[in-house]
Amino acid sequence: PFQVYAELRENTPVRYDEHRECWDVFRYEDVQYVLKNPKLFSSERNRTSSSMLTTDPPKHKQLRDLVNQAFTPKAIEALAPRIQQITDELLAPHLSNGKINLIDDLATPLPVIVIAELIGVPATDRREFKHWSDVLVKGARDDSEEAFQELVQEKQRNMQELYTYFAAILEQRRAEPQEDLISLLLAAEIEGQQLTTEEVINFCILLLAAGNETTTNLIANAVRILSEQPELQLELREHPDRVASAVEETLRYYPPIVAIGRVARETVELNGQTIQAGDQVISWVGAANRDAAQFEHADKFVTDRKPNRHMGFGFGIHFCLGAPLARLEARVVLHTLLQRIEHIQLVSETELEPIQSAFVFGVKEYPVQFNARR
Ligand code: HEM
């Protein structure tokens, strides 16, 4: 889509789409303006739920403060050895084959296992947990009304199962707190009030929905770049200190989330257009991230780009809570792959099938072949 974004950025930087009934914003400066002004552009978009992702100040900060301490870079860094261990275990069975289905075998299970452990889901329940987590972000199998209805029902059933499951764990943690996120949330208070069971469960579900598929796509998109531009594999193996900045560059170049929605609270002028109160506004970070007014050689992947003020994790008060975790997982995977295997390439003749969501940039499967290094 990046070619299309370039034209839109140039010709219609802020435009109203009659068909989708929303505004689209493409330039870096304008996207940043929208995201840094929650007073003008609200996150409460006709949703019934009130997770931090879909609330505005002051409620937003209260919710976010509850979990911030669990997601600081320092707290997350402590998970590195465990993330390394899981990565090694997932990769091991494929080393002798010289082939791996990157998404199914590594990029999907890794974030699910990590978040399950962080939340406090027992390892014995992992299989069910992964299933629930998958259904949470699942798309319909085709465009038909039938497929849509089927999906809605599957998702409703899934929500009920997740609620029942988490409610049981909450009971246990109330009786016997552990070192996990559920126990932390149960002990937390907002203005002297403890969270309700429902609020704690919603929180856990938000983390699954916001963190799993996005991290999967970050890992897959990073490996995709390495296989599309194989010289980068050599460069990073020679300069492992560039892996962290290569992960940032992936978030700029192939961001897992390309668009972020808001709703205008008042009538506002943006780049010569008048947006009315109540209008939906889509900020295309995927387009902003390639804006030549902000980035030199914007269409080139530069492993050690500095500065790199990409908006792959959003911008402003809703800046991704899970960013330190997603970054760490992607770094561990890249380091491990570069160390253990070489000549990573897409299995020949594989047709890439994009994920069917306008807000997501990623593919459904990415089988790669490689040589094991010794
Ligand atoms: C918010 C992207 C991983 C939890 C966001 C936003 C973006 C984003 C763009 C801003 C949304 C907005 O402004 O409306 C990503 C990407 C990820 C990733 C690209 C992986 C590469 C994670 C992980 C977690 C997580 C691993 C949790 C474990 C959240 C939460 C919010 C959020 C809770 C809402 C924060 C708030 O409203 O203050 N993410 N995310 N994300 N993300 Fe992530």
Here the ipTM equals: 0.98
Q: What is the pLDDT of residues 268-306, one digit of tens each?
A: 999 999 999 999 999 999 999 999 999 999 999 999 999
Instruction: Tell whether ligand 1 has an atom less than 6 A from the beta carbon of residue 341.
Output: no
pLDDT in tens, 199-220: 899 999 999 989 999 999 999 9
pTM for the whole structure:
0.95
Rg of the chain over CA atoms, in angstroms?
21
CA of 231 to the centre of ligand 1 (A): 31
290-329: string of b/e by CB count within 10 Å (b at 16+)?
A: bbeebbeebeebbbebeebebbbbbbeebebbbbbbbbbb
d(CA 7, CA 359): 18
- Tell me the CA–centroid distance for residue 95 and ligand 1, in Å: 32
Domain that holds residue 53: 2-372
Q: What is the pLDDT of residues 64-113, one digit of tens each?
A: 998 888 899 999 999 999 999 999 999 999 999 999 999 999 999 999 99
Residue 326 in contact with ligand 1 by CB distance below 6 A = yes
Which of the listed residues 37, 214, 251, 289 should we mutate to test ligand 1's pocket, taking the one with most ligand atoms within 8 A of CB? Answer: 214
Q: Is 83 in the pocket of ligand 1 (CB under 6 A)?
A: no
Per-residue pLDDT of 257-268, as tens digits, reads 999 999 999 999
Residue 255 CA, ligand 1 centroid: distance in Å: 12
Q: What is the CATH number of the domain that holds 60?
A: 1.10.630.10
Please report which confidence band the pLDDT of residue 49 belongs to, taking 50, 70 and 90 as the band edges. Answer: low
Amino acid at 293: A
Number of domains in the chain: 1
